Chains A and B, each alone.
Chain A
Amino acid sequence: MSLTKNESVDGTTLTIQIKGKFDFNLVQSFRQAYAQMSDKTVKVIIDLRETDYMDSSALGMLLNMKKTIEGQVKTIEISNCQPQLRKILQISRFDKKFDIS
């Protein structure tokens, strides 16, 4: 379980990648990952390619993030979901609030 963040070369995209398990254990580090975004950031990608597990606490964390940075960035994208995680996001109607790819 870990979280890494990467800025794109031009600084406009922040990618937060979560490996293994996305749950309340990441509550602090996930908040920190988007707390000090540069002004140039217009897009945040939550990359779940290496995320095997998530639960409702992760959904809460995603919503919290959205509330915090909504005014600051244009797009928040949840990308590269495994099929089962995608289904969890769909059941929770997250596809209405986030770009899910």
Chain B
Amino acid sequence: MMHVLIVDDQALNRILLSKMLEQEGYKISFAYNGLDALNVLKREEIDIVLLDVLMPVMDGFEAAEKIKQLNSEVYLPIIFITSLEDQASFERCLAVGGDDFIHKPFEKVILHAKIKAHSRTRELSKKANQQKKLLEYHHNQIEREHEIIEHIFSNSLENQGKFKEYLDFNLSPASMFNGDVFLVAQSPIGNLYCMLGDFTGHGLAAAIGALPVSRVFYTMVQKGMAVNDIACELNLLLYNLLPGHMFCAANIIELSASGKSVSAWLGGLPDAYLIDNNGNVKQTLESQHMALGILDEQEFEYEVIHFEADPSTRLVLATDGIIETANHSDTFFGEERFLQTLKAKPMISSEDIIQSVSKFANGSEQQDDLSIVLLNCLPLIPQEQEREAFSTLAFNLSLSLNSQQIKKTDPVYDVVNILSSVEGLKAHRSNIFLLLSEAYNNALDHGVLGLDSEIKKQEDGFFRYYELREAALANLTGAMIIIDMRYCPDTLCLYFIICDSGRGFSNKPGASEPTLVNNEFGRGLSLLEEIAEKVTYNASGNQVEMCYKLS
């Protein structure tokens, strides 16, 4: 029910108006002057104000202005009650916020018509206001969500700020979220990996794939995997994750720590280029494969390209947003212009390139995400690896292998795996393997099996040797090899004793043998001397003791 406030100091007017309105079923309230009206409006929800002009305490002009100020959100109609005929007063009524007039003497039909018309407008205004509030609510909600997502995205791109000397890149998303993704990481041996990807479309839907991709990329780089293995893993991830019409064109690059060689898996992005510092193209690197997320595991293509690089070369990667940028006459920026831009000045920056693309677009709306990456092929320094603290628990480990076990097991590999699980020893596992492998194989081949390394000198002797070894091993009986290990946390040393049931060495190996690469054999025992702190053989030559220093 509409609620009408009649503001008039004259009782006659109030009575006349209220009679007319009550008949139509309106709810009525009264006020006797402007100030009084303001008080009523504070207390009650009023839909329409009928306002007299000349009143004591506060007149209609002043009241109208205040009422409008206090009710700016939803339209509150003010209809002036007036007997004034002069133009100036009308104008003033409108100027202070009046919406309409009703003249004395009151005409019922006109009064009703006006009230109805203004009620409709007020209803519309109320609805619009509700919708506006709802929109504001959702807008705030989305802004908040976007902030959270942006935060997650920026955290997922953890390394972008590092490697400034090596990488110059510029990513210009077409909307708040970037459907292009650029990832950088260094493997433990120092190789620098980067990946430029372009998901189908742009905006949040395109950007969402960047999160799982970055996790897999970082994990695999940490393991130092090859670019095609990384591509294979990402392909499988996206094949299973993305809807059928979405995929990710990507170039995955690995620059060796020496800065001298690059391997690349190129899937679906525009040509990449190897350029010199002046921007002349030395090699064009065409995409070789379909984008990631299209082929299933069996169909996936592993082929990579390898090429040599040096400090005077740079690798240029770009997404199709660059060459497909159009100007007002629908001409593409295109490859030719792109190649010219690279030559525009020595050591051109990604910023320069983006600027010339946007200069070409000349205000045309950006249709796609633009990304450009310049990789300077410089040598890298491996990252410092965190050293695990050494276990403080001393222990002994002892194995006695009989003929059956010698035939069927790979004790060196298994023992190294056991030792690697001890805190601090993992970092030394390659050396531990080498020591055990040389000593064990020496005990087995020469001690137990009685093989003669001289065979290796013959034509094809290397392979002959291993054939003989296999045959001798198959017939082995009554043999024994004992491996004793001791870890001493106080001296930070590993002590090994390897002892076999064989007849021992006739000529003891050792420092007398030269460590020449040309030797067909004897390399192993020389290596032992180098890697171990101390190597000693017993008199009969069937037992070797080694000490390996961990620090």
Q: State the A residues within 8 Å of B (CB).
A: 6-10, 13, 15, 17, 21, 23-24, 27, 31, 43, 45, 47, 49-50, 52-57, 59-61, 63-64, 77, 79-85, 88, 91-94, 96-97, 101
Contacts and interface: CB of A to CB of B under 8 A. Distances in A.
Interface stretch (B13-21, B127-135, B223-231, B344-352): B223-231
Nearest to A90: B530
A7 to B, nearest CB: 7
Q: Which 8 pairs, one residue from A and one from B, show the smallest C-beta to C-beta distance?
A: A56-B524, A84-B430, A53-B433, A55-B437, A93-B517, A56-B523, A9-B303, A91-B530
B303 A55 contact: no
Given A63-B517, A91-B530, A8 B304 contact: yes
Contacts of A59: 523
Contacts of A53: 413, 416, 429-430, 433-434, 437
- Which of the listed residues A17, A88, A97 has the most CB atoms from chain B within 10 Å of its own CB? A88
Given A24-B466, A80-B256, A9 B304 contact: yes
A92 B434 contact: no
Contacts of A84: 428, 430-431
B225 A27 contact: no
A8 B307 CA distance: 10
B260 interface: yes
B462 interface: yes
B125 interface: no
Interface residues of B, number: 48
Given A27-B462, A56-B524, 4 more contacts: A9-B303, A55-B441, A56-B438, A101-B258
Contacts of B469: 24
Contacts of A47: 226
B305 A85 contact: no
- Which of the listed residues B257, B430, B431, B524 has the most CB atoms from chain A within 10 Å of its own CB? B430
Given A49-B225, A49-B226, A88-B527, A57 B302 contact: no
Contact of A92 (B226, B431, B523): B523
Contacts of A64: 462
A91 B517 contact: no
Nearest to A98: B517
Contact of B189 (A15, A55, A80): A80
A101 B257 contact: yes
A79 to B, nearest CB: 7
Given A6-B303, A6-B304, A50-B224, A60 B456 contact: yes
B200 interface: no
Given A52-B430, A60-B462, A97-B517, A80 B191 contact: yes
Nearest to A56: B524
Interface in B211-243: 223-226, 228
Contacts of A52: 429-430, 433
- Which of the listed residues B225, B304, B382 has the most CB atoms from chain A within 10 Å of its own CB? B304
A7 B306 CA distance: 10
- Which of the listed residues B225, B413, B434 has the most CB atoms from chain A within 10 Å of its own CB? B434
